[in-house]
Amino acid sequence: MRLENKKALVTGASRGIGRAVAELFAVRGAEVWGLGTGEPPDLAGRIAAAGGKLHWISLDLSVLETVEETIKKALEESEGFDILVNNAGITRDNLAFRMDLEDFRSVLDINLTAAFLAARTLGRWMIKKRAGSIINMSSVVGLHGNGGQANYAASKAGLIGLTKSLAREWAPRNVRVNAVAPGFIDTGMTESLPAAVREKMLEQIPLKRLGKAQDVAETVLFLASDSSAYITGQVFAVDGGMFI
């Protein structure tokens, strides 16, 4: 699958899954704009080695008032995006009775509301162009729920509703919107979990290993590429068979 002559915006591209997506896209021929709160990661060198280029947008997605304006600027600079990957996400886990409102809101803001704003900003352009692919990074937790993650599960379930609604609205203009629901992927987000929790998770994975960021990136690549031209409004679980 190639992404030649395509321009892609990937949020949360500094590490983990987003970083793997940005790198894979560039290797497959896309011009990539990564987004994160800090400085660009050092993958710029690896992308250059593959003949690609990484542009960087420094933006804190929790500051919702700035999201549309910043992405509009990137849109002008790039002269249009063909692909958006709404991947940035956070967790603020706690049992529901102990979860304070700020931790509920901040997860919803970054994981869901910022994704809506980014999709709407780029969606306008894609609709005019009659082409585009948007991929929202949900989670198996958004499909099945998880104790201690009411905020995170609500944001990820919300992304699925957003995906299906935008897919229905924009399909007549050939803009596709899909979601990916990873299971337990070995990244910074999961490395702090206690060994006992990781062991218990492994027992529930028929493929008997944690997922790699690359496993998720390959699915995102498929959904971004023309190989999935007739697919919209779907949720793809990448979970080693956790929920067969």
- Mind telling me the catalytic residues? 152
By CB under 6 A, name the one of 44, 60, 105, 201 that touches ligand NAP: 60
Within residues 157-216, the interface with ligand NAP by CB under 6 A covers 182, 184-185, 187-190
Q: How far is the CB of 226 from ligand NAP (least distance, A)?
A: 24
CA distances from 26 to 22, 44, 49, 207 (A): 6, 10, 10, 29
Q: Which of 3, 8, 10, 12 binds ligand NAP (CB under 6 A)?
A: 12
Q: Which secondary structure element, helix H or strand E, spans residue 222, and what is its range?
A: helix 213-224
Q: List 194's β-bridge partners, or say none.
A: none
In whole angstroms, the minimum distance from the beta carbon of 111 to ligand NAP comes to 6
Contact pick of 27, 75, 126, 137 for ligand NAP (by CB under 6 A):
137
- Provide, rounded to whole angstroms, the least separation between the CB of residue 188 and ligand NAP: 4
Nearer to ligand NAP, 37 or 204 (CB): 37
- The residue among 102, 168, 125, 122 whose CA lies nearest residue 9 is 122
Q: Which residue matches tokens 């992405």?
A: 71
Q: Which is nearer to ligand NAP, 110 or 166 (CB)?
A: 110
End-to-end CA distance of the chain: 27
Torsion sign over Cα 189, 161, 219, 147: positive
Q: Which residues, 6+ apart, have CB-to-CB distance to 112 below 8 Å?
A: 155, 158, 159, 162
Alpha-carbon span 146 to 214, nearest angstrom: 24
Residue window 88-127: x/- pattern of binding to ligand NAP, with contact defined by CB under 6 A: xxx-------------------x-----------------
The nearer residue to ligand NAP, 129 or 186, going by C-beta atoms, is 186
Beta strands of 69-172 (E only): which ranges? 83-86, 132-137
At its nearest, how many Å lie between ligand NAP and the CB of residue 131?
25
Query: Residues in the site for ligand NAP, rule: CB under 6 A?
Result: 12-18, 36-38, 59-62, 87-90, 110, 137, 139, 182, 184-185, 187-190
